[in-house]
């Protein structure tokens, strides 16, 4: 008989923790799991899923305009926010139920309580009960970061945006990362007057300069008041009038709502990790090795709490690799290179591999690039442009990076990511026949580089 209550205890019921728990249980392990909030974690409850549904909802305003340009006789009006919000909340309830049933059906014992660590093999639940486990997996994700400044108690974060009782008439979004930019586009599409402050010179730091420049240009053209080189000095609650904001450039204004999207921190506070010898990094991340093991051999961590690559599919893959390593005896590191990703701005940005800036610092490159007005939007009279860009090694001819700014860029970059991950060369791309007429055909028809570096 085992000396422990469980072979594995997972703290955190998000995508990574649930996948690890289910896979371990499928291998015959006894598994417990604790989640203090809603089952499904950031992605399902307050991240990817509700955000993408809001992206869909916000895109219809332009669709109505385009439909009229194509000859449809229709009228449009403001979104009925209570109706959408009600359906959104019902969908999140449904998905949470799916996660709960998946766990129960897998034989995982789960509880809706906070859990902290007492020692390398024991966790204490909020009700005071203690559970022991041979292995403990931390999968507690991340939390929004709001800087400490006068009036910061009056702001909301991306966690709150899905539960607003009413859509504000105006909103200030502070931040320049993908969460800030996505919600700027979403809320503008829903009819909110959006102002965005970012302290840096250009939004979407870390992404390809040409691609992020085009996204910023199109956001401004759509009517988003994007102000770079600008930050907040002070906020004051003005009651029914909204929130008064003083900016670093000396300007001030009143907004119905102020949302901070200034990054997310690993959610490692108060778990008792430091007392056990688990190393915690400067940003609060749990430091792990290639196999997600901490400095304490029985304790592992996956997902955003490790601050490696904060993406849901990465957390899921790390959970699967953990199970392979610990419960199948097959040591499996996770490959964090060449991960495709998408930013659901309007237009979308899809990316995989190196940016032009990073690639030219590493080796000589050729840049193949095409920017044009897509047929669908051009016919409707819109000035939208898309960007298709390949970064190619001069020495090996491998495609080192691909960057797409276009409607449905996320769908395209998933497929391009397969080719780039396989090590495809530019000539491999060239050998593929174009699908015409599509936007993506440009990826296989660009014959001459626009520049070399």
For residue range 225-238, list pLDDT tens digits in order. Answer: 999 999 999 999 99
- Does the pLDDT of residue 184 top 60, yes or no? yes
- The DSSP output letter for 30 is -
Segment 351-366 mean pLDDT: 98
Exposed, middle or buried: residue 256 (CB in 10 Å: 0-12, 13-18, 19+)? Answer: middle
- Does the pLDDT of residue 371 top 70, yes or no? yes
Chain center to CA of 3:
40
CA distances, 272 to each of 16, 197, 278, 419 (Å): 21, 37, 9, 43
- Candidates 172, 179, 184, 227; CA nearest to 202 is 227
Q: Report which secondary-structure segment, H or E, holds 38.
A: none
The pLDDT > 70 percentage for the chain reads: 100
The residue extents of the domains of the chain are: 6-143+265-327, 152-262, 341-452
Active site residues: 436
Topology annotation, domain 341-452: Enolase-like; domain 1 (3.30.390)
Residue 76, pLDDT score: 81
Residue 322, pLDDT score: 98
For residue range 386-409, list pLDDT tens digits in order. Answer: 999 999 999 999 999 999 999 999
Tell me the whole-structure pTM to 2 decimals. Answer: 0.96
CA distances, 35 to each of 15, 140, 168, 291, 412 (Å): 12, 8, 32, 23, 35
For residue range 138-175, list pLDDT tens digits in order. Answer: 999 999 999 999 999 999 999 999 989 999 999 999 99
Q: How many CB atoms lie within 10 A of CB 162?
A: 18
- Does the pLDDT of residue 1 top 80, yes or no? no
Reply yes or no on domain 6-143+265-327 having CATH 3.40.50.300.
no
Q: Based on C-alpha coordinates, what's the Rg of the chain?
A: 24
Segment 244-261 mean pLDDT: 96
Q: How many CB atoms lie within 10 A of CB 448?
A: 6
User: What's the start-to-end Cα distance of the chain, in Å?
Assistant: 65
Give all strands (DSSP E) within 38-139, no chain letters: 109-111, 115-119, 122-125, 130-138
- Candidates 161, 16, 15; CA nearest to 98 is 15
For residue range 75-106, list pLDDT tens digits in order. Answer: 888 999 999 999 999 999 999 999 999 999 99
6-143+265-327 and 341-452: identical CATH topology:
no
152-262 has which CATH code? 3.50.50.60
- Candidates 1, 448, 409, 449; CA nearest to 207 is 409
C-beta separation of 224 from 215 below 8 A: no
What distance in Å separates the CA atoms of residue 143 and residue 160, rounded to the nearest whole number? Answer: 12
- Does the pLDDT of residue 436 top 90, yes or no? yes
For residue range 24-43, list pLDDT tens digits in order. Answer: 999 999 999 999 999 999 99
């Amino acid at each position: 008989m085992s000396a422990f209550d469980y072979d594995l205890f997972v703290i955190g019921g998000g995508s990574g923790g649930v996948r690890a728990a289910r896979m371990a249980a499928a291998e015959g392990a006894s598994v417990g799991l604790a989640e203090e909030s809603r089952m499904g974690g950031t992605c399902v409850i307050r991240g990817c899923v509700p955000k993408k549904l809001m992206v869909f909802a916000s895109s219809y305003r332009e669709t109505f305009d385009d439909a009229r340009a194509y000859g449809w006789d229709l009228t449009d009006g403001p979104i009925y926010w209570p109706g959408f919000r009600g359906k959104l909340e019902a969908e999140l309830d449904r998905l949470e139920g799916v996660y709960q049933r998946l766990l129960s059906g897998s034989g995982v014992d789960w509880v809706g309580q906070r859990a902290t660590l007492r020692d390398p093999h024991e966790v204490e639940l909020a009700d005071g009960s203690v559970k022991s486990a041979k292995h403990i997996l931390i999968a507690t994700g991340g939390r929004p970061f709001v800087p400490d400044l006068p009036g910061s108690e009056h702001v909301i974060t991306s966690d709150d945006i899905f539960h607003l009782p009413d859509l504000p008439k105006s909103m200030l979004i502070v931040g320049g990362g993908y969460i800030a930019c996505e919600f700027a586009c979403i809320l503008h599409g829903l009819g909110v007057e959006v102002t965005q402050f970012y302290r840096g010179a250009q939004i979407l730091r870390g992404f390809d300069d040409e691609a992020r420049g085009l996204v910023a240009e199109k956001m401004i053209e759509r009517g988003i008041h994007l102000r770079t080189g600008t930050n907040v000095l002070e906020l004051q609650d003005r009651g029914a009038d909204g929130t008064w904001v003083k900016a670093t450039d000396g300007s001030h204004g009143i907004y119905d709502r102020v949302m901070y999207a200034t990054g997310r921190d690993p959610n490692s506070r108060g778990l008792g990790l430091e007392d056990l010898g688990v190393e915690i990094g400067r940003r609060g991340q749990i430091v792990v090795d290639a196999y997600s093991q901490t400095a304490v051999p029985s304790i592992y961590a996956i997902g955003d709490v490790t601050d490696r690559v904060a993406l849901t599919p990465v957390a899921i893959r790390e959970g699967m690799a953990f199970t392979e390593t610990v419960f199948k005896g097959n040591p499996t590191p996770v490959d964090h290179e060449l991960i495709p990703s998408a930013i659901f701005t309007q237009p979308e940005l899809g990316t995989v591999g190196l940016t032009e800036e990073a690639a030219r610092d590493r080796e000589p490159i050729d840049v193949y690039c095409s920017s044009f007005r897509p047929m669908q939007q051009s016919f409707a009279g819109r000035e939208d442009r898309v960007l298709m860009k390949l970064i190619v090694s001069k020495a090996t001819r491998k495609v080192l990076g691909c960057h797409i700014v276009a409607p449905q860029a996320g769908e395209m970059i998933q497929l391009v990511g397969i080719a780039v991950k396989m090590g495809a060369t530019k000539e491999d791309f060239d050998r593929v026949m174009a699908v015409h007429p599509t936007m993506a055909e440009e990826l296989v028809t660009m014959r001459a580089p626009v520049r070399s570096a």
